[in-house]
Amino acid sequence: MTYKLVSRDYNPDDLVVDVGGVEVGGRRVVVIAGPCSVESLEQTLEIAKLVKRLGAHMLRGGAFKPRTSPYSFQGLGEEGLKILVKAREETGLPIVTEVMDPRDIPLFKKYDVDVFQVGARNMQNYTLLKELGRVDKPVLLKRGFSATIDEWLGAAEYVALGGNRKIILCERGIRTFETHTRFTLSISTIPLVKKLSYLPVIADPSHATGRRDLVIPVARASIAAGADGVLVEVHLNPEKALSDGPQSLTIRDFEELVRDLKRVAEALGRYL
């Protein structure tokens, strides 16, 4: 058995993870939005205020970026965390940001980051997972893009074993033979993982598709399949984004997304 503490057998009731007053895993469908990378104070504040006004529940932005090429923008680091804190102060939105290295955990604690995101590439970084097990903050655990469901739940088990049960799983697409999309979002994984585990499950249609035109329909499908929320990338000017521009929604797209998700949620007896 690769996991026990995170299994539905261990705890039959759905876990509701509280993120600064925002409940993930309850009847509310949560929307986490923001730029792929924190690029500047102005950019982040403006996006944060706009998505908040349109209905986002949390702000997400990367300060430490796991990039395929070491020559690509690596993120603003600590400066990015400071910017996120300012955006939280101005909007009241909890902040979600990726931690890549266990050595950065004290810095994340210093800025009181609300949700520690573990990226797909780090899903099996067991040193990081063990350290996050000792952190008293929710962990958003992305599925590795070549990880099986059991490997993903095994990774969650590492966090839980350290004492931290506040885990939010995120299906962000797996690698298949298909080339039209960046990855392939596994819709069936959403209800399946919710059967196997009591942890909340959200979907990331931005990284899964890599294409702005597919983000809204795949987000709708994810909620229809039982996801407890979505994580989407939003940019004021995607053509100019320092990372993941092609998959970033414009503010106008984001407005449409929220409108659609409200209707899907209501059809299922949930709300946004």
| Binding footprint of Mn ion on the chain (CB under 5 A) | 36, 244
Answer with the entry of ligand PEP, Mn ion, none that 194 interacts with (C-beta below 5 to 8 A by kind): none
Q: Which option in ligand PEP, Mn ion, none does residue 172 bind, with CB closer than 5 to 8 A by kind?
A: ligand PEP
Residue 33 or 258 with smaller CB distance to ligand PEP: 33
119 binds, among ligand PEP, Mn ion, none (CB under 5 to 8 A by kind): ligand PEP
Q: Among residues 7 and 97, whose Cβ is nearest to ligand PEP?
A: 97
Q: What are the helix (H) ranges across the chain?
A: 41-54, 78-91, 105-110, 126-132, 149-161, 189-196, 205-209, 212-224, 251-267
CB atoms within 10 A of CB 12: 8
Taking the C-alpha atoms of residue 263 and residue 272, their distance in angstroms, rounded to an integer, is 9
C-alpha distance across the termini of the chain, in Å: 36
165 binds, among ligand PEP, Mn ion, none (CB under 5 to 8 A by kind): none
The least distance separating ligand PEP from the CB of residue 121, rounded to whole angstroms, comes to 6
How many CB atoms are located within 10 Å of the residue 44 CB?
A: 25
The nearer residue to ligand PEP, 7 or 128, going by C-beta atoms, is 128
Least distance to ligand PEP, CB of residue 175, Å: 11
Shortest gap between Cβ of 17 and Mn ion (angstroms)?
22
Whole-angstrom Cα distance, residue 42 to residue 17? 30
DSSP 266: H
Residue nearest ligand PEP, CB atom distance:
119
Task: Give how far the C-alpha of residue 259 lies from the chain's centroid of Cα atoms, to the nearest Å.
Answer: 20
CB of 11 to ligand PEP, least distance (A): 26
Spatial distance between the Cα atoms of 118 and 128, rounded to a whole number of angstroms = 9
Dihedral sign of CA atoms 190, 196, 201, 205 in order: negative
Residue 230 — φ and ψ, nearest 5°? Answer: -135, 155
d(CA 236, CA 247): 13
Which partner in Mn ion, ligand PEP, none is near 66 (CB below 5 to 8 A by kind)? ligand PEP
- Whichever of 6 and 185 has its CB closer to ligand PEP, that residue is 185
* Smallest distance from ligand PEP to CB 245, Å: 12
Looking at the Cβ atoms of 36 and 219, the one nearer to Mn ion is 36
**Of 36 and 249, CB closest to Mn ion:** 36
Rounded to the nearest whole angstrom, what is the least distance from the CB of residue 62 to ligand PEP in the complex? 5
Of 231 and 272, CB closest to ligand PEP: 231
Kind plus residue range of the DSSP H or E element containing 98:
strand 95-98
120, interface contact from ligand PEP, Mn ion, none, CB < 5-8 Å by kind: ligand PEP
* Inter-residue contact 218 to 181 (CB < 8 Å): no
Contact positions toward ligand PEP, by CB under 6 A? Answer: 36, 62, 66, 119-121, 142, 172, 204, 207
Question: Which residue type does 29 have?
Answer: V
CB of 193 to ligand PEP, least distance (A): 16
